[in-house]
Structure formats: C-alpha cells, structure tokens
Amino acid sequence: MKALNGGFLLLIIALANFQSAHSQDQSGFISLDCGLVPKDTTYVERTTNITYVSDGAHIDSGVARRINVTLRTEFQQQLWNVRSFPNGQRNCYNFNLTKNRKYLIRVFFLYGNYDGLNQLPSFDVHIGRTKWTSVSLQEVGRSFFDEIIHVLTQDRLQICLVKTGETTPFISSLELRPLDSNVTYVSQSGSLMLVARIYFSPTPSFIRYDEDIHDRIWWPFINANTTSISTDLPVATSNSYDVPQLVAKTAMIPANPSQPLNIRWSLDEINAQSYIYLHFAEIQNLEANEIREFNIDFNGLPWFSFFRPSKVGITTVFTRAALSSPDGIFSLTFTMTGNSTLPPLINGLEIYKVLEI
C-alpha cells in the first residue's frame, strides 16, 4: 500500500485481542438534562445507561419547562425537559475544566411545543465569544443536535445561547466527553465541527454509548448504488479511535461489484476546510485466490494506492492536514486495482469542518 501525497496517516491494528484499550465507564462525562428540577436530581437513561444530572449547577438563568407529554415516549429522557431563555440576549453555561484538555461537546434541541406557542425558534450557540452554530428548528417533534471537538485554551468553558430574533432560545441537553488530546482528532488549527459520522448498515438504528465508549453518535447510511455486508466475527478495534464493534462489523460495497464506490459531501462555506477519518476492516473470509485491493482518489486526484484492509482488524486512515475544495464539494472514489478480485469497502466515515475559535 502506498500514500501518494502525504495527506494520509495510516494506523494498522496489530493486536487482535478484541478488547478495548479503555474501560467502559463514564469517567469525565458531563451529561446535563437542561431544565431538570430540582437541581440535585439525577437518573440513568434506560437505553444508554448514561447518568444525567440537572444543569442547575452550571447556569443561574433561564426557565425550566417540559415538552408536550405526547412526544415524550418518542425520545430519550434527557430530551423531555428544556431550559428556555426569555430574558437577556446571551445566557451562558459555565464549566471549570482543565486547560489543553480535548472535549467532544454536544448540544441537543427538541422544541416539543414546550411553551404552547407552536413557534419554531431560531438562535445561535457560542463557545465563549465565538459563534459555533445557528439553530433553526424545522419541526415541533423533531430533535436536532450539533457537535464539536474542541481543545480548551483556558481552564474554563462557556457555552452560550444567543438570541438573534424574535423567538426564545432554549436547550434540551448539553454533553461533554473527554478525548485523548495528543493522539486522536488532531487539527493543525481550530476546532472540528461534526459534518457526518456514519456507518454502513441497512438497519435504521443509530449507535452511541455504551457501544461507543467515547459516546460518539454514528448514523446508518446506505444509498441506492451500494449494498451492505456484515460479519458475526469480532473485529479488533483497539487503535486510538476505538471504533465500535457494530460499526466495524458492517461495511458498504458498490451494488455493482465492478463499479467504483463513491462518497460525496458539501460544506455550506466554499472556503471551509475539512478533516476526514476513514475506518476499514476486511470482514469477509477470503479464499486463497481472492484479493481485495483498491485505490482511493480525493476530488478526482490519486491519494492512496494498493490499499488492502486488515483481516477482521480496523485500520483508520485520516488526513494530517485540512482539506479544501474550490467549490465546497468533496468526493472520495474507491476503485479496484488490476490485482483485485473483490470490490472496495468501507466500514465507517467521519467528516469534520474546521472552526477557528
């Protein structure tokens, strides 16, 4: 296998003990149910086993409300409450943390007609004084979340809800998850806003903790020109990225084995930069005369050649430098080499956009 331009760094699994390098606990997790009262309330969410606490220790403004009772059975418990902010332009959550520590930060919003107005809100979310994202909800009963990987530049963190119009900002849940600062998700500058984190399964279920020990959320994806394959065998996933077994055990291949596998995405800003993380594992038992080998092109240009996924072991390929595209449209193409008898595959894909904070 050969990297053609130095844009990829390759990690190959050597240990096949099928054990995670980390204990599967919630050490360092901060999981806030926003608007949960009284402020000393805590509970374990039954589908994830994540322990949630009230947000009251981190903010002294806002009003605790609850979504419409008819919607509660459709969502996890941490989305049943909201904290709304009818007063003030800017209302902030405050955390005392450790400088230079890396966190996955996630905010959830479910309007659920908590105020009885049937008026879908729009507002901004800031990290400190820097705008992170704009929230513009489209449906009363549909949840929305945003996620960013951020290295703290000081020993405290502020997450702020900022009023931008006539509607009232609110938040349903706020989650912080510590990550390894020196090894994973390293950018040359800025923080990494999640664009997509997908695995390739025909089932509609998303994956998060405790299947993913870092509580990353993975969404299933298959399109009309692809199909999914899977295995019951355990896959060695103990590289620094700890890909969940449910992600590693499924893969996407082209529906027509002789055709390339194509993945495209776009960013809302033409000049935006992107980091990508591709997770591969050979999950089929290959016969002696079978070879799976493919080339990877980025935006039509050769990037990686003669790649062979490791047998039931995850290899993570990722960009060491940010990627850009002149029109904001990005593409990856996986094409069989002349040696290959099997089509290309991919097990998981993460895409991020750079945000300077």
Q: What single string gives the DSSP state of each residue in 8-60?
A: EEEEE--------SS-SS-TT-EEEETT-SSTT-EEE-TTT--EEEEGGGT-S
Confirm if 121 and 168 have CB atoms less than 8 A apart.
yes
SS3 92: strand
- Span 302-327, average pLDDT: 93
- What is the reported pTM? 0.93
Q: Measured in Å, how far apart are the chain's first and last C-alpha atoms?
A: 37
**pLDDT of 17:** 44
- Region at 106 (left for phi over 0; alpha for psi -120 to 50; beta for the rest): beta
**pLDDT of 19:** 42
**pLDDT of 11:** 57
- Span 228-249, average pLDDT: 95
Strand partners, 183: none
Confirm if 106 and 158 have CB atoms less than 8 A apart.
no
> Tokens 């996630």 — which residue?
106
Confirm if 353 and 149 have CB atoms less than 8 A apart.
no
Confidence of residue 9 (pLDDT cuts 50, 70, 90): low
Give residue 304's identity as a one-letter amino acid code: F
From CA 175, how far away is CA 20, in angstroms rounded? 23
**pLDDT of 269:** 87
Average pLDDT over the chain reads 92
Strand partners, 231: none
Which has the minimum average pLDDT: 27-31, 133-137, 319-323?
319-323
From CA 295, how far away is CA 307, in angstroms rounded? 6
- Tell me how far the alpha carbon of residue 348 is from its chain's centroid: 11
- Span 46-56, average pLDDT: 97
- Span 215-234, average pLDDT: 95
Of the candidates 91, 72, 54, which has an alpha carbon nearest to the alpha carbon of residue 173?
Answer: 54
- Span 266-291, average pLDDT: 94
Check pLDDT > 80 for residue 197: yes
Which has the minimum average pLDDT: 59-63, 131-135, 179-183, 187-191?
179-183
Q: Which residues of 210-220 are buried (b: 16+ CB within 10 A; e: fewer)?
A: ebbbbbbbbeb
Give residue 356's identity as a one-letter amino acid code: E
